[in-house]
A and B are shown apart, each in its own frame.
Chain A
Amino acid sequence: MSESILISLDNVTKRYQSNTVLEKVSLDIRGGECIVLLGHNGAGKTTLIKLILGLISPSEGSVCVLGFDPSKERANILKKGFGYLPERISFYESMTGMEVLRFYAKLKSTPLDTCDDLLERVGLTEAKNRPIQTYSKGMKQRLGLAQALLGDPQFLILDEPTSGLDPVLRRQVYELVNSKCAEGKTVIISSHSLKEVEAQADRVVIMDQGRVVANGSLPQLYEQAQLQVNIVVTLDVQYTEQVIKQLSGLLATVTTSKGGLSIDCSVTNKMIVLQKVMSLGDIVDDIQIKLPKLDDIYLHYIGRATHQVETLNGEQL
């Protein structure tokens, strides 16, 4: 985590004709970090990844990977240390899984005997001698993952790695990502499925309409968002008035609900409120605590971003 900056984007803007897909994005990625890029389709995640890989050049600003501009041919030496899984993977359909993997292994100057292990690891051993055109979407995705892992790359970029995979395979993918993080590799995952990536992320970068709207570790984002914790207290109706009075001094919103009370308070106030509720003793039948989820954080930042755009437009008018 304390390692030096590996990738640095400085005020990067990318336009296709008049269409701005990234706007003034600045981002630093350190060695060994696991970064999760979150955003809707079209938020600019894939464009950001393509810029880092040097597949496209920025319209403004600069991208720097280990001191190189990745879009220049000189940066080719970097690419040996890259592993990349594209969002929509496609292969040469007439080749078999094994042939494809060996082809890429040769291009990466990786020993060919690792191919068998990799195919085994992604569960394609049985299908390795069949042409890709007979593969399902999930199998192609797994083969894509295998090629991304060729040569044990220091830097892994997975663009929506779990799309098209069943739940079991999704878990395998995330286990794999975890093990890569544990090995000290730098990992970037883009996703719009939020719950799965929660455990992996050292840092979450939320993107919306081509801009970075949030960037920080999960606890930081929780704190910044000041999301409310919802505590549902089940108790006998006759005590409600009494309890509301007792809680009135706290920074919490209390509403009556079916069979009890619903309390909303900030994350930082959570413990104080809970202690108060616990001190009520026997009259409380049950307590349920609903912590804000990553989804809520995501929606919070996306929501705020939309709001900002609106006010900005308002001012212009």
Chain B
Amino acid sequence: MKAIYILAAKELQDGLRNRWVISIILILGSLALLLLLLSAAPGGTVKASVLHIGVVNLTSLSVYLIPLIALMLSFDALVGEFERGTMLLLLTYPLARWQIIMGKFAGHLLILAITITLGYGGSALFSVLYIGGSAGWEQYALMMLSSFMLGAIFLLVGYLISVLSYDRSVAIAVAIGGWLFFVVLYDLALLGVLLAGNGQIISENVFTILMLINPTDLYRAFNISSVTGSESITHIVGVIKASELNLTLIISIFFLWLTALLSLVIWRFQRREV
């Protein structure tokens, strides 16, 4: 436990020092603020609070941004230390390999928590204080929490890429490829299959399952359905019926991803030789 704490503290300190933390806060904060201000602009007949609309707008932004940030934080975590030679020394210290993974993960999660809280939370606070209306704060808070969860999964995706790569430049290329796949290509492919097959190739149920497997779509579906009454969902997750989206299911899928990825990363790391 102590080793994990020491490593996590070091990751956090690194994040503060190389200005990752402050940059992420600024990026998330300024974009959230911008979208909240836009949400406050008179929006026709829709009568909804700023935070409500903000959740919908911010979700479609976070779904790209959070995975990218998480991958950038994590792709270098293992391959970088192997390449620079610091891993060799670290492994001779009295700590287990799984503790190294958990320590880095805890540190990066802390960075995510801080940046999301300050970036998104700070903007919301500004909005409540100066634009007015705190209605919808529960949904906004859930959006922040789910952003954190999405980030956690992509941190692990990054570690997996990192532990499998023997070259940093390869790792970053694969990380960007992975981001593109999960965030853009996966949905496009599903949509393509759906449109081309006219519902013949895959049934609606299969489609729903495929959609829920991808954590980014899960994130979208979760947030958009939390701001219910959103008949105007423009994304294909709108296909998923709200009844299929209960919290237990979402959290189960999240923890399934989490444990699967974490065990995979630790298993590969334990097998890797210096």
- Once the chains bind, are B14 and A88 in contact (CB under 8 Å)? no
- Once the chains bind, are B92 and A90 in contact (CB under 8 Å)? no
Distance A88 CA – B90 CA, assembled complex (angstroms) = 14
Asked if A147 is at the interface (CB within 8 A of a chain B CB), the reply is yes
In B145-182, the 8 Å CB interface with A consists of none
- Once the chains bind, are A79 and B14 in contact (CB under 8 Å)? no
Q: A76-B95, A79-B92, A84-B92 are in contact. Are A92 and B85 (CB under 8 A)?
A: no
Asked if A106 is at the interface (CB within 8 A of a chain B CB), the reply is yes
Q: Kindly identify which residue among A56, A77, A79 contacts B93, using a CB–CB cutoff of 8 Å.
A: A79
Asked if B94 is at the interface (CB within 8 A of a chain A CB), the reply is yes
Chain B residues near A92 (CB-CB < 8 A)? 10, 14, 86
Chain A residues near B17 (CB-CB < 8 A)? 94
Say how far B114's CB is from chain A's closest CB, in angstroms: 19
- Once the chains bind, are A77 and B94 in contact (CB under 8 Å)? yes
Q: Which single residue of chain B is at the shortest CB-CB distance from A73?
A: B96
Q: A92-B86, A107-B6 are in contact. Are A55 and B18 (CB under 8 A)?
A: no
Chain B residues near A80 (CB-CB < 8 A)? 94
Q: Provide the main secondary structure of the chain B interface.
A: helix
Q: Which single residue of chain B is at the shortest CB-CB distance from A74?
A: B96
Asked if A301 is at the interface (CB within 8 A of a chain B CB), the reply is no
Instruction: Report, as a range, how many residues of chain A touch the other chain.
Output: 20 to 34
Chain A residues near B3 (CB-CB < 8 A)? 107
Chain B residues near A147 (CB-CB < 8 A)? 89
Distance A53 CA – B90 CA, assembled complex (angstroms) = 12
Asked if A239 is at the interface (CB within 8 A of a chain B CB), the reply is no
Chain B residues near A91 (CB-CB < 8 A)? 86
- Once the chains bind, are B91 and A86 in contact (CB under 8 Å)? no
Instruction: Report, as a range, how many residues of chain B touch the other chain.
Output: 20 to 34
Asked if A135 is at the interface (CB within 8 A of a chain B CB), the reply is no
In A131-168, the 8 Å CB interface with B consists of 147
Distance A109 CA – B3 CA, assembled complex (angstroms) = 9
Asked if A89 is at the interface (CB within 8 A of a chain B CB), the reply is yes
Asked if A108 is at the interface (CB within 8 A of a chain B CB), the reply is yes
Q: Which single residue of chain A is at the shortest CB-CB distance from B10?
A: A103
Contact with A along B212-247 (1 / 0, CB 8 A): 000000000000000000000000000000000000
Contact with B along A46-86 (1 / 0, CB 8 A): 00001001011100000000000000010011111010101
Distance A90 CA – B274 CA, assembled complex (angstroms) = 14
Known: A73-B96, A86-B88, A108-B94. 19 other contacts (CB 8 A): A53-B92, A55-B92, A55-B273, A56-B273, A76-B95, A77-B94, A79-B92, A89-B89, A90-B84, A90-B86, A90-B89, A91-B86, A92-B10, A104-B93, A106-B6, A107-B6, A107-B93, A107-B94, A108-B93
B residues with CB within 8 A of A: 2-3, 6, 10, 14, 17-18, 84-86, 88-97, 273-274
* 8 closest Cβ pairs, A-B complex: A90-B85, A79-B94, A107-B93, A84-B92, A80-B94, A55-B274, A56-B273, A106-B6
15 CB-based A-B contacts, threshold 8 Å: A53-B91, A55-B88, A56-B273, A73-B96, A78-B94, A79-B92, A84-B89, A86-B88, A90-B85, A92-B14, A103-B10, A104-B89, A107-B95, A109-B2, A147-B89
